[in-house]
Structure 1
Amino acid sequence: MTVRLRAHHLLCMLTYVGKGYTPDFCANYDKIAARLTRGEDIEIVAGPDDVCAPLLATEAPHCHNDSVLVRDAQAAAAASDMLGATVAPGYRFALDAALLSRFRAAFAAGTSRTACGGCEWSGLCDGIAGGGFDGTRLAGGR
């Protein structure tokens, strides 16, 4: 199977520790982190993805907001730099340990975080990155 992710979720998944918008959102994200840890491929999509699914049934989900589309474009540019390829809808890749380490190093250094500006979770992610990504769900954390 393949995990469908919008570009900014490539960054969010790096610091996911089980906190999120709702219990259903977190349960879904836990499953996605486990799938990625097992080595499932990632496919970049435009708009709502597998992470967004539990929010789509709520009133006025933010997944469709213009600000989220801007965040996706900024994250795609950062991911393109890290991967050495153009990250756009339809792009597929596997997240192995070396690539995860490279993504986390760039995130911790702040070089891939343009898309994080104004995000309500940014403070939490700062602490997680500053703490060496301890407790993250993807690949069991470090």
Structure 2
Amino acid sequence: MTVRLRAHHLLCLLTYVGKGYSPAFTANYDVVVERLAGGEDILIVSGPDDICAPMLDESEPHCLGENAAGRDAVAARDVAGLLGRPLPAGAWLELDPSTLARMREAFSSGLTRKACPGCEWFDLCGAVAASGFHGTRI
């Protein structure tokens, strides 16, 4: 199987510690993280992905908004620069331990956090990164 992720969720999953918008969102995120930990590949998508799924029933899901799409563009650019290859929609990525470590190091240093300012989770993610990613689920 394949995990479908929008580009900015490549950053979000680095600091995921089991907190989310709702119990359904968190339960779904836990399943996505388990799949990634089990070795499933990532397919970069444009727009809502496997993490967004529980939010799509809301009257105005933020994952359909311009802010999310803007974060995707910036995150794709920054992560692509880190990995040395483009990450457009349709690109595949394996989140092996080495790649995960490189992505966390870049996140901690701020290199790949340009998509994050203005996000309601910004402070939590910063604290998780500052703790050495203690308590993350992947």
Into which bin does the TM-score normalised by the smaller protein fall?
over 0.9
**SS of aligned partner of 2:42:** strand
* Cα distance in structure 1, aligned partners of 2:43 and 2:82: 16
Equivalent pairs: percent with the same residue?
Answer: 55
Please report how far the alpha carbon of residue 31 of structure 1 lies from its aligned counterpart in structure 2 after TM superposition. Answer: 0.5
Aligned to 1:96: 96
- Shift >4 Å, 4+ stretches: none
Normalised TM-score (structure 1): 0.96
Distance in 2 of aligned mates of 1:104 and 1:73: 19
> How many Å separate the matches in 2 of 1:65 and 1:79?
21
TM-score w.r.t. the length of structure 2 is 0.99
SS for the counterpart of 1:115 is coil
Q: CA RMSD in A?
A: 0.5
SS in 2 for 1:57: coil
What does residue 119 of structure 1 align with?
119
Match of 1:7 in 2: 7
Match of residue 59 from structure 1: 59
Counterpart of 2:69 in structure 1 is 69
SS in 2 for 1:4: strand
The separation in 2 between residues aligned to 1:44 and 1:91, in whole angstroms, is 5
For 1:106, the equivalent position in structure 2 comes to 106
Partner of 1:86: 86
TM-superposed deviation, 1:124 = 0.2
- State the shift of 1:67 in Å: 1.0
